[in-house]
Chain A
Amino acid sequence: KQEVTQIPAALSVPEGENLVLNCSFTDSAIYNLQWFRQDPGKGLTSLLLIQSSQREQTSGRLNASLDKSSGRSTLYIAASQPGDSATYLCAVGDTGKLIFGQGTTLQVKP
């Protein structure tokens, strides 16, 4: 049974810092991995999708990597801003469904 873990559960950083969010999964047989952002009480906003054949994806200040052999993905946020404050969720694509980690709640202080 696939299990997804995100560390740390919460993170507080000063504005401008570069930071890394971690995601690990127990079964390397995944279709893809998707990172989402969730603001309080809102739905999920897709940030990056990495297909199982890819190693990384980049969008603006965000870079996500995938290492299936070690069961890990990282989300790198460069030059963090207060507007980046949110919960970040990692989700592994299984057959027709996503399996989510518990999320990392990020606070970026001005």
Chain B
Amino acid sequence: KAGVTQTPRYLIKTRGQQVTLSCSPISGHRSVSWYQQTPGQGLQFLFEYFSETQRNKGNFPGRFSGRQFSNSRSEMNVSTLELGDSALYLCASSGGRDFYGYTFGSGTRLTVV
């Protein structure tokens, strides 16, 4: 059973640019959530999508957005990048017939210069 796949693994962007990250959940999982991990703030919840609808949102500015497609794959977008957006972005999937917790991908390391 394939795990959660995040692409790309690494990104370097310039301030002011925008970026799109992708996450493919475990087959059969309908919930995809996104987290930002930084040394100072730790892991913080960004948002959760279920059946193409945003079900939950964390305390992040509107520059952070996401969407989910009918095949449950999800993308998150960050516009007008700031240096402080440099972080490891992690995606997690859950769902299926029973809840067995969250499964995380390997993450996308974003560096803003």
Chain A: interface residue total (CB-CB under 8 A): 21
A87 CB, nearest partner CB in chain B, Å:
10
Task: Choose one: A36, A42, A97, A103; the contact of B56 (CB below 8 Å).
Answer: A97
Chain B residues in 8 Å Cβ range of A34: 101-102
- The dominant DSSP class at the B interface is strand
- The dominant DSSP class at the A interface is strand
A44-B100 contact, Cβ under 8 Å, with A96-B31, A100-B42, A102-B42 = no
Chain B residues in 8 Å Cβ range of A91: 43, 102
Check A97–B48 contact: CB distance below 8 A. Answer: yes
Q: How far is the CA of A96 from the CA of B33 in the complex (A)?
A: 8
B87 CB, nearest partner CB in chain A, Å:
12
Q: Which residues of A contact B (CB under 8 A)?
A: 32, 34, 36, 41-46, 49, 89, 91, 95-103
